[in-house]
Structure 1
Amino acid sequence: MKRIIITTSFVAIAACFVAPATVSAEEGLGNVDRGRVIYQFGKGDDVPACQGCHAADGLGDDNVGTPRLAYQIDTYVLKQLADFASGARTDDTMYQMNDIGKALSEQDMKDVASYVHTLKTPYIGSNLDQLRRDGAEVGDPAKGKMIAEYGAPDHGVPACESCHGFHGRSAGRMYPAVGGQNYVYLQHELTSFRNAANEFGSKTLTAEEIASKADNARTNDYMGQMRAVAKNLTDEDIQNLAAFLTLAKPTTPGNPRSPSRD
């Protein structure tokens, strides 16, 4: 997996000339218009445009391992930005997110989280055939569907839908939408949760443990729930789940987008 190298774009200067932000009709945690400016143009010298890695439409990029942010739960995005800023979340791929998070104010985080929640880009998912051609190990979506819907009781894995909802649309504001998420990101995060579970279990870490843990061990899950699940996932389980979830359409018939979660 490639490590992301982010270069601050000079287009951030353009943010100074954008019309004053107005209150959006789609109220959320923050100001959608200000969030759009940060997402598209960045902020100052330390915050590059989010779209440089996550794409203008919020779909992310399998080539560099970035997630889809479009229509993600705003409270979840806010928590991740805050956790990157505090160091509670680290990542060996998106490692520059820690410095970016520190450069964002709390209001900036709320604004960006509110903006990406408005990006109701249709669910596309990863091109699994292309990933296979590129040499990636890609799982079986049908097997992943069984785990997502029913779990794997034979080795202690509960159904993903119990927290993440039908086809990963999310079953509550503390849980992210994972349906239509990018394959590489899903595989990486599930593996990172498992790495952390193997080292720390599902406990809350001390500041010293957080500071010393490996970047590929993710421990900022709610009450250790993902680590408790991921510890029992095999490599094949992870690949199968990622293959199913990236293709899953968290929609209703005739509706190309998820139902409102507001």
Structure 2
Amino acid sequence: MRGCKWIVVAVALTVAGSAQAAGDAAAGQQKSAPCQACHSTDGNSQVGMYPNIAGQHAGYIVTQLKALRDGGRKDPVMSPMAANLSDQDIDDLAAYFAGQKIKLGSVPQDVVTLGGQVYRAGNSKTGVPACMACHGPQGLGNDPAGWPALGGQHPEYITKQLGLYASGERSTDINRIMRDIAGRLSKAEIDAVSKYVSGLH
């Protein structure tokens, strides 16, 4: 029955949809200078603790920037950066970075089996659903539902975010989906799946 719960939630969120950015990519590029120190000029971060945002769904970027600006999500680096952004600034930045191409990583051989198991099948014994049910077989995410693309993301960043969800420090997930899932993952599963998604495409 646990699997049914996730399917029902997934269908409901897909039908509900998410806010779509209506930004100007050219304007976003002009406004992106402060972002470049952490995310580089094209959104492909050179540091594992900072996420790759190139090619991320515009709607998801908008949602997260507004949460960081308005206090729904807290981050010591990003909250101050987002504090003075207008809705138009956010839409423009989202349009620009969504239009960039992410640079894919690779999957270490030692996590292929466990990482692939968690991502593609989950863990029925602990009630963990397959990550691909929401994020797609290739890690492309689900834009209408507001679920982010994960393929090519830094393992360090994924590991940190899963930890924040598990502890409840991050709570921007609808209906506690990610908090419930992350709380059921073992440390080994988090490590493996975080590395596994970096090579998904």
Shared fold (TM-score greater than 0.5)? yes
Q: Distance in 1 between matches of 2:67 and 2:74?
A: 8
Q: Which residue in 2 is equivalent to 1:115?
A: 96
Q: 2:185 aligns with which of 225, 233, 245?
A: 233
Q: Flag the 1:140–1:84 CA change in 2: closer, same or farther, 3 A.
A: same
Q: Distance in 2 between matches of 1:243 and 1:158?
A: 18
Which structure 1 residue ranges, 5 or more long, are not aligned?
1-26, 42-48, 130-138, 197-216, 250-262
Indicate yes or no: 2:196 matched with 1:244: yes
Q: Flag the 1:86–1:97 CA change in 2: closer, same or farther, 3 A.
A: same
Q: Which amino acid aligns with 1:29?
A: A
Q: Which residue in 2 is equivalent to 1:62?
A: 47
Which residues of 2 match residues 170-185 of structure 1 at below 5 A? 170-173=141-144, 174-185=146-157
C-alpha offsets along residues 191-247 of structure 1, whole Å, 9 cap, x if unaligned?
A: 110011xxxxxxxxxxxxxxxxxxxx1111122111111110111110010111011
C-alpha offsets along residues 150-182 of structure 1, whole Å, 9 cap, x if unaligned?
A: 111111100011111112111333000011111
Q: Distance in 2 between matches of 1:86 and 1:126?
A: 35
Q: 1:90 aligns with which of 63, 69, 74?
A: 74
Query: CA contact under 8 A between 2:107 and 2:196: conserved in structure 1?
Result: no
Q: Distance in 1 between matches of 2:71 and 2:30?
A: 25
Aligned length: 181
Q: 1:38 aligns with which of 31, 46, 56?
A: 31
Q: Which residue in 2 is equivalent to 1:78?
A: 62
Q: Secondary structure at the match of 1:166?
A: coil
After TM superposition, give the deviation of residue 34 of structure 1 in Å. 0.8
Q: Flag the 1:30–1:172 CA change in 2: closer, same or farther, 3 A.
A: closer
Structure 1 segments (4+ residues) deviating >3 Å: 126-129
Q: Which amino acid aligns with 1:83?
A: A
Q: Which amino acid aligns with 1:98?
A: S
Q: Flag the 1:126–1:87 CA change in 2: closer, same or farther, 3 A.
A: farther
TM-score by length of 2: 0.84
Q: Distance in 2 between matches of 1:90 and 1:127?
A: 30
Query: CA contact under 8 A between 1:164 and 1:172: conserved in structure 2?
Result: no
Q: 2:22 aligns with which of 1, 20, 29?
A: 29
Q: 1:194 aligns with which of 155, 166, 169?
A: 166
After TM superposition, give the deviation of residue 53 of structure 1 in Å. 0.4
Higher radius of gyration, 1 or 2: 1
The alignment's C-alpha RMSD in Å is 1.9
Q: Which residue in 1 is equivalent to 2:14?
A: none
Which residues of 2 match residues 160-179 of structure 1 at below 5 A? 160-173=131-144, 174-179=146-151
- Identical aligned pairs, as a percentage? 29
C-alpha offsets along residues 76-121 of structure 1, whole Å, 9 cap, x if unaligned?
A: 0001100001111113xxx121111111111000000010011024
Q: Which amino acid aligns with 1:96?
A: V
Query: CA contact under 8 A between 2:58 and 2:94: conserved in structure 1?
Result: yes
TM-score by length of 1: 0.65
Which residues of 2 match residues 89-168 of structure 1 at below 5 A? 89-91=73-75, 95-121=76-102, 123-125=103-105, 140-168=111-139
Query: CA contact under 8 A between 1:62 and 1:183: conserved in structure 2?
Result: no
Q: Which amino acid aligns with 1:120?
A: K
Which structure 2 residue ranges, 5 or more long, are not aligned?
1-19
